[in-house]
Amino acid sequence: MAINILTLIYLLASVTFIIGLKMLSNPAHARRGNLIAAAGMTIAILGTIFLYKDDEGNSLHNYGWIFGGILVGAIIGTLAAKKVKMTAMPEMVSLFNGMGGACAALISIVEFNHVNNSINYFNGSLGNGFVLPNFSYSFLLIICLGLIIGSVSFAGSIIAWGKLNGKIKDFSFKGQHIFNLLILVIILIITSLLFISFPDNIVILFYSVLVLALLYGVLFVLPIGGADMPVVISLLNSFTGVAAACGGFLYDNKVMLTGGILVGAAGTLLTILMCKAMNRSLKNVLIGSFGGTAVAAQGASKTGGAYKEITVSDAAMTMSYSRKVIIVPGYGLAVAQAQHVCHELEKMLEEKGVEVKYAIHPVAGRMPGHMNVLLAEADVSYEKLEEMEQANDEFKTTDVVLILGANDVVNPAAKTDPASPIFGMPILEVEDAKLVIVNKRSMKPGYAGIENELFFKPKTSMLFGDAKSVLQQLVGELKNL
């Protein structure tokens, strides 16, 4: 009866994962969907702890270690989630994703030791050269896949975490693409040797695969430029999902398998969409040549020229007498933690009869959905958030576009400069509006390391300063109008 109940629990948990994932597609329901999926996971964990029995009827034991680990992880996760700043959210996501990959790799290591012990036992009992049944070959294959994918996800996520918080710089060398591919080939060759009559040096081969997979994870992410990090985070997330699904195969755990497949599939689809949004090739992501610093430097714009400045009072006056204003949020808004005062500006403009909307680029910020989360934190209405395609249709009828810390996602070089590393990337076509006001701290280039020719356009005016301070001044000016 216990097994039947556990099966039903796994089925219920799998359904909650699917419902939760579906609800995440709509910002209005995303929070509730996340809670539903979390509740399903909690039920699955408790069901496994108290109801699981192996083929011999043995239940889990060592409850002290199990709940001790859960308690420690829960405390660390809760404190990290509460204390993390919105600007640090991408690196926290990378770090947590890396921990998922590490768990999958550790599962593979533990199960490999079980297989290796079985080989040693049979070789000692039945003589050398004993060949395990076909099922064990399949089992060993899943172990190797979990090890490789989990290790790459762990090492790559840690490097991504370091690059996002500025502790690790972009690094590349001549012929790195070929070197990365060579490592992959060697990993596959060594893995295949594990299946040839189970050689005596199987342990050496297995841990060689582990080391090479970790090395590939590092080299795969190191050359990637910061502007392209949303795609990398999404790809590594899909890797972790696939690695977790391998763990589900190993333990014949349906809910672990379902959750891993859902994460892997969703991450893969999101990666493809991110690549499309940035006009990049997924193949280049896999071999580690995705938007590196060297490329950005070679394609740096040489626009230069004079730019116009606008005062806070003039900007406030212009927006207050506009019919429609579209705000383009970027990483600078997150750095200044100015989302709440931005919402206040929006409400004041609406009180004066101005229509206010937000234009969201798919890769604005440092991770997919970064700007959506940022604005949701300030209780900005979901209906006011427009995706890139919708916003581009409206810019032609917009009086003022206020850009807050965004750079590369509004750079016209993506359409006009074939030498630019972002050429071909779909952008927010803000220059179609009647007036563009750009808020930046300085004229330094954005995360991609290239100059933005938008700043020198006749319809563009620069409003320098910290986003939060500038927005507070704008709100003050509007109150006096």
The CATH number of the domain holding residue 471 is 3.40.50.1220
Same-domain pairing of 362 and 241: no
Question: Chain-wide mean pLDDT for the chain?
Answer: 84
* pLDDT, mean of residues 244-252: 90
Looking at residue 441, what is its pLDDT?
85
Question: Does 334 map to a domain?
Answer: yes
- 197-to-128, 142, 144, 209, 351 alpha-carbon distances in Å: 10, 17, 16, 18, 77
Same-domain pairing of 181 and 268: yes
Name the catalytic one among 170, 228, 408, 417.
Answer: 408
| Local confidence band at 1 (pLDDT 50, 70, 90 cut-offs) | very low
Give percent of the chain with pLDDT exceeding 70.
Answer: 86
Q: Which residues are within 8 A (CB) of 42 and not within 5 positions of it... i.e. 6 or more apart?
A: none
| Local confidence band at 345 (pLDDT 50, 70, 90 cut-offs) | very high
- Characterise 305 by phi-psi region: left (phi > 0), alpha (psi -120 to 50), beta (else): left
* pLDDT, mean of residues 56-80: 89
Q: Which residues are within 8 A (CB) of 145 and not within 5 positions of it... i.e. 6 or more apart?
A: 242, 243, 246
Instruction: Quote the CA–CA distance of 389 and 360 in Å, as a whole number.
Output: 9
Same-domain pairing of 44 and 156: no
Question: Does 38 map to a domain?
Answer: yes
Looking at residue 264, what is its pLDDT?
92
Q: Is 434 helix (H, G, I), strand (E, B) or coil?
A: coil
Give percent of the chain with pLDDT exceeding 90.
Answer: 46
Same-domain pairing of 72 and 93: no
Question: Any alpha helices (H) in 352-404, and if so which ranges?
Answer: 370-377, 388-394
Question: Does 302 map to a domain?
Answer: no
Task: State yes or no: pLDDT of 183 exceeds 90.
Answer: yes
Domain boundary among 53, 83, 113: 83
Same-domain pairing of 256 and 343: no
Element (H, E) at 192: helix 176-193
Q: Is 252 among the catalytic positions?
A: no
Q: Is 207 helix (H, G, I), strand (E, B) or coil?
A: helix
Structure tokens of 19?
A: 């419902």
Question: Does 134 map to a domain?
Answer: yes
* pLDDT, mean of residues 382-405: 92
Please write the tens of the pLDDT for every residue from 285-341: 555 544 444 444 444 444 556 889 999 999 999 999 999 999 999 888 888 889 999
Question: Does 435 map to a domain?
Answer: yes
Instruction: Quote the CA–CA distance of 280 and 228 in Å, as a whole number.
Output: 9
Question: Does 303 map to a domain?
Answer: no
Same-domain pairing of 35 and 171: no
Domain boundary among 37, 68, 83: 83
Task: State yes or no: pLDDT of 60 exceeds 50.
Answer: yes
Task: State yes or no: pLDDT of 415 exceeds 90.
Answer: no
| Local confidence band at 39 (pLDDT 50, 70, 90 cut-offs) | very high
Looking at residue 127, what is its pLDDT?
47
- 75-to-31, 68, 70, 128, 469 alpha-carbon distances in Å: 21, 11, 9, 49, 35
Residue 358 forms beta bridges with which residues?
A: 327, 385
Instruction: Quote the CA–CA distance of 259 and 245 in Å, as a whole number.
Output: 7
Q: Which residues are within 8 A (CB) of 137 and not within 5 positions of it... i.e. 6 or more apart?
A: 195
- Characterise 405 by phi-psi region: left (phi > 0), alpha (psi -120 to 50), beta (else): left
Looking at residue 3, what is its pLDDT?
52
Same-domain pairing of 316 and 416: yes
Same-domain pairing of 276 and 364: no
Please count the CA atoms within 13 angstroms of the CA of 97 that sit on its side-chain side: 31
Residue range(s) defining the domain that contains residue 451: 308-480
* pLDDT, mean of residues 462-468: 93
Same-domain pairing of 411 and 326: yes
Question: Does 424 map to a domain?
Answer: yes
Number of domains in the chain: 3
Instruction: Quote the CA–CA distance of 263 and 30 in Å, as a whole number.
Output: 16
Task: Report helix angle 467-480 to 339-351, nearest 10.
Answer: 20
Looking at residue 319, what is its pLDDT?
95
Please write the tens of the pLDDT for every residue from 95-128: 999 999 999 999 999 998 887 776 665 555 544 4
Read out DSSP for 228-261? GHHHHHHHHHHHHHHHHHHHHHHHT-HHHHHHHH
What phi, psi does 106 have (nearest 5°)? Answer: -65, -40
Same-domain pairing of 190 and 215: yes
* pLDDT, mean of residues 386-399: 93
Residue 72: other Cβ atoms inside 10 A: 10
Question: Does 411 map to a domain?
Answer: yes
* pLDDT, mean of residues 59-76: 91
Please write the tens of the pLDDT for every residue from 258-295: 999 999 998 888 888 777 766 667 766 555 544 444 44
Same-domain pairing of 124 and 224: yes
Lowest mean pLDDT among 155-159, 231-235, 432-436: 231-235
| Highest mean pLDDT: which range of 264-278, 335-349, 357-371, 415-429 | 335-349
Looking at residue 120, what is its pLDDT?
62
Domain boundary among 28, 62, 83: 83
| Contact of 368 with 232, CB cutoff 8 Å | no
| Contact of 453 with 301, CB cutoff 8 Å | yes
Looking at residue 199, what is its pLDDT?
57
Q: CA dihedral in degrees (227, 233, 239, 242; nearest 10)?
A: -140
Nearest to 403 by CA among 467, 350, 321, 324: 467
Same-domain pairing of 44 and 133: no
Looking at residue 171, what is its pLDDT?
80
Looking at residue 65, what is its pLDDT?
93
